[in-house]
Chains A and B, each alone.
Chain A
Amino acid sequence: MVRIYFAGIDLGSTMTKIVIINDDEQILAYVVHHTGAEHRHLANRVMEEGLAEASLSIDDISFVMATGYGRINVPFADRQITELSCHARGVASFFPNVRLAIDIGGQDAKGLKIRDGKLLDFVMSDKCAAGTGRFLEVIAAALGIEVEDLGGISLRSKQKVSVSSTCTVFAQQEVVNHLSAGVPLEDVVAGLHDAMASRTARMVQRLKVEPDVVFTGGVAKNAGVVKALEENLRCPVLVPEEPLLSGALGAALLGKEHVLKALARGETIQTGERRLDRATFFEKE
């Protein structure tokens, strides 16, 4: 039996993610890399890595679907779909009963209203760093700790402090004030997570919070934010094993659906030229 392969690439502002699946929707390979300033044009290398892991060549891939902030300019992609639809599809493949998905990445935060695996409505926040992974990065840097350690630290908190500022700059000042007033680090970090979670909860209220609520994106790796989000939404929050992959996986799955639909209509699959060139980005970032 001839296998067909699909790739999804999610070129985010902070991380680049690639998932390769077969027509049984099994994940053959996934790669997650920092998009980082020097690497942002190197999506092709990430793709090469993924192909190597799956022991495939680029010509074996039937369809490449691109998503994420840099989706428009991936030269080896056949089609682009927004990360909104892709996240919805990817999350639904992990959690079929999802009704609200929250994705917090490096530069934006999204809320997705999903019914029967389909995206119905969404909200997005990308106007400022507060409420995104960037917020935590800035604060972690100011505290001189690794952003990965924030979650663990905050879980030790006995009494979180209130951080009222929703502005990253003001919040940073507040944090410094709290610490100099002798508040334990874990209580301050827990307060920050709470501020972020309450901001997110506010953003998604318009979509109506109903279980299953699923949380993805880089920030979903932070157990402290997950806990704070559960408190603020007053319901359990599910996190997939690899919270960064839902967009790329969704892209691969939507690519497969696209191909199957085309074949069902008796059309040939329109694919672009398969060249693993460097990606180009929007002028304005």
Chain B
Amino acid sequence: MTTEAKPRALNRLQSMYALRAEVDKMYEGGVEASEEGKPVAWVMLEGWSNAILNAMGVSTVFPENYSSLCAAQGVATPFLDRSEAEGYPTHLCGYARTCIGYSSRMVELDGEIPPEAPAGGMPKPVLLVASGEVCDARFKWFQSLGRFFDAPVWTIESPYPGLRERLMEGAHERNVNFLIKELKAFVAFLEKLLGKKMDWEALEYTGGGTNEINRWRWEINELRKAHPGPMNTRDFWSAVTAALFRGAADPDVITKGFERMYDEVKERVDKGIAGINRPERYRLSFEGLPPWHSLGFLEQLADRGWNFVIESAYRPPRPITIDLSKYSDPMERYVRRRYRRLEDSLREDYGPEEAEIILDEIRRDGTSPRMGLRHIKDYQVDGVILHVLLTCRSTSAGLNLLQHRLLDVLKVPSLVIEGDIIDVSAFNPAEALRNAEAFEETMDHYRKVRKELGMPW
């Protein structure tokens, strides 16, 4: 509650605003399509369906994003309450419960969009596309929406093997073929539902655009390694939604937006400008999903000189050129462009030497403590915030183990902050700030430890 005219601690990127605004278009587009009698699907964040749906002319809206939008605007609570009233346990995913409450409200209004819905709302879906990717409880969520809509649910299956099992002979090709067949079955379903044929050429555009967007995002992240860090995670979170939710629908516009962002970040690096308007005292990484309802919290941390220079979620993949010339089947091209052999991506990400160590560890132990730590080293991170979410097990389950690995392998300390993606009452900002203050001493201590061990930062 400061009233002084001190400049804001976060130094926002101007190019972010245009990207952030793109997400509103998703909802506008959804409502428009629905009014014109065009099909609208509710979909989830996963690697496969969105480009296919867009290629088929289906408008896609993302309840996961919509829930975070409700949380950010402070209107999620009545939806959470409705979900509870419908008899759903309160420990379920906050995104899901917001969506369930929203759906229940829609039923009350005979399928109309609730007048209190932000950003114009999500129109009634003709199709629900669920996925178990990253979080397998998500297909249960859309399945349970059957209580409110008679829209069919398609669940996208994608492989999620263990690390060692991914290295078994023949496993990779089997997974690729599984994905190809699975996605073709999805296309057949869509053709039946929509009464029209798949536009394979359009898929090259909607599916291919993502690669170009990711390339710019990757380049931006490369720039973020600079000291001081030119872009705070706050801007990352504001902009990433455009890539995630609009990348397949409007690839050219989104690509342009990230290109502009690249230029702006590059200029900052050249001029030595930081993502915060305070001296960069600590460089941090944010692990887990952010508290969408309390992103202002980052402003308070920035005021302490904390610069979140990188984050764990939604980091773009390293751009690669794959020779697709021997594959003529468009679905096969689509799958092979994205589903990589574990050995290959490790070698690209970690370099051949470290990749071999990691692979040996995986073959021996089924796991490697080094995986997922590359960015901590690359960005010379002093400390890590682990956001343990009350209602998200998929992003939280591994965080405590990560705490051990960060310290064991890199001597980087981390601080657990408990909260939730949606439920504001699970987060105690006063306590988090107090802990953050104390955490500075820990970060100082490990700076010395790393120095003594001759580590580069």
Which chain A residues border B440 with CB–CB below 8 Å? none
Judged by a CB distance under 8 angstroms, whether A179 is at the interface is: no
Judged by a CB distance under 8 angstroms, whether B328 is at the interface is: no
> How many chain A residues have a CB neighbour from B under 8 Å?
11
Which chain A residues border B428 with CB–CB below 8 Å? 165, 170, 173
User: Is B425's CB under 8 angstroms from A167's CB?
Assistant: yes
Judged by a CB distance under 8 angstroms, whether B81 is at the interface is: yes
Residue of B nearest to A199 (CB): B81
Residue of B nearest to A209 (CB): B85
Rounded to whole Å, the gap between the CB of B115 and the closest CB of chain A is: 17
User: Is B425's CB under 8 angstroms from A166's CB?
Assistant: yes
Which chain B residues border A206 with CB–CB below 8 Å? 84-87
User: Is A165's CB under 8 angstroms from B425's CB?
Assistant: yes
Looking at B84, B85, B87, the one whose CB has the most chain A CB atoms below 10 A away is B85
With A173-B430, A206-B86 known to touch, is A164 a contact of B81 (CB < 8 Å)?
no
Residue of A nearest to B88 (CB): A206
Judged by a CB distance under 8 angstroms, whether B18 is at the interface is: no
Q: In the complex the two chains form, what is the Cα distance from A202 to B82 in whole Å? A: 8
Q: In the complex the two chains form, what is the Cα distance from A195 to B84 in whole Å? A: 16
Judged by a CB distance under 8 angstroms, whether A205 is at the interface is: yes
Which chain B residues border A166 with CB–CB below 8 Å? 425
Judged by a CB distance under 8 angstroms, whether B33 is at the interface is: no
Judged by a CB distance under 8 angstroms, whether B346 is at the interface is: no
Bin chain B's interface residue count.
10 to 19
The A-contacting residues of B in range 14-46, CB under 8 angstroms, are: none
- Residues 199-214 of A, flagged 1 when their CB comes within 8 A of B and 0 if not, give 0001101100000000
Which chain B residues border A173 with CB–CB below 8 Å? 428, 430
Rounded to whole Å, the gap between the CB of B63 and the closest CB of chain A is: 21
Q: What secondary structure prevails in chain B residues at the interface with A?
A: helix
Number of A-B contacts (CB under 8 A): 23
Which chain B residues border A205 with CB–CB below 8 Å? 81-82, 84-85
Q: In the complex the two chains form, what is the Cα distance from A167 to B425 in whole Å? A: 8
Which chain A residues border B424 with CB–CB below 8 Å? 164
Which chain A residues border B425 with CB–CB below 8 Å? 164-167, 170
Residue of A nearest to B80 (CB): A202
- Residues 209-250 of A, flagged 1 when their CB comes within 8 A of B and 0 if not, give 000000000000000000000000000000000000000000
- Residues 110-138 of A, flagged 1 when their CB comes within 8 A of B and 0 if not, give 00000000000000000000000000000
Which chain A residues border B86 with CB–CB below 8 Å? 206
Residue of B nearest to A177 (CB): B430
The B-contacting residues of A in range 177-196, CB under 8 angstroms, are: 177
Residue of B nearest to A170 (CB): B428
With A164-B424, A166-B425, A167-B425 known to touch, is A202 a contact of B85 (CB < 8 Å)?
yes
User: Is B430's CB under 8 angstroms from A202's CB?
Assistant: no
Rounded to whole Å, the gap between the CB of B91 and the closest CB of chain A is: 11
Rounded to whole Å, the gap between the CB of A182 and the closest CB of chain B is: 12
Which chain A residues border B84 with CB–CB below 8 Å? 202-203, 205-206
- Residues 401-428 of B, flagged 1 when their CB comes within 8 A of A and 0 if not, give 0000000000000000000000011001
Q: In the complex the two chains form, what is the Cα distance from A177 to B86 in whole Å? A: 34
Which chain A residues border B82 with CB–CB below 8 Å? 205
Rounded to whole Å, the gap between the CB of B148 and the closest CB of chain A is: 16
Q: In the complex the two chains form, what is the Cα distance from A203 to B80 in whole Å? A: 12
Which chain A residues border B87 with CB–CB below 8 Å? 206
Residue of B nearest to A173 (CB): B430
Rounded to whole Å, the gap between the CB of A20 and the closest CB of chain B is: 39
Residue of B nearest to A204 (CB): B85
Which chain A residues border B85 with CB–CB below 8 Å? 202, 205-206
Q: In the complex the two chains form, what is the Cα distance from A164 to B430 in whole Å? A: 14
Rounded to whole Å, the gap between the CB of A128 and the closest CB of chain B is: 12
Query: What are 11 A-B contacts with C-beta separation under 8 Å?
Result: A164-B424, A165-B428, A167-B425, A170-B428, A173-B428, A173-B430, A202-B81, A203-B84, A205-B82, A205-B85, A206-B87
Known: A164-B425, A202-B81, A202-B85. 19 other contacts (CB 8 A): A164-B424, A165-B425, A165-B428, A166-B425, A167-B425, A170-B425, A170-B428, A173-B428, A173-B430, A177-B430, A203-B84, A205-B81, A205-B82, A205-B84, A205-B85, A206-B84, A206-B85, A206-B86, A206-B87
7 smallest A-B Cβ distances: which pairs? A205-B85, A202-B81, A206-B85, A166-B425, A206-B87, A202-B84, A165-B425
Interface residues of B (CB under 8 A from A): 81-82, 84-87, 424-425, 428, 430
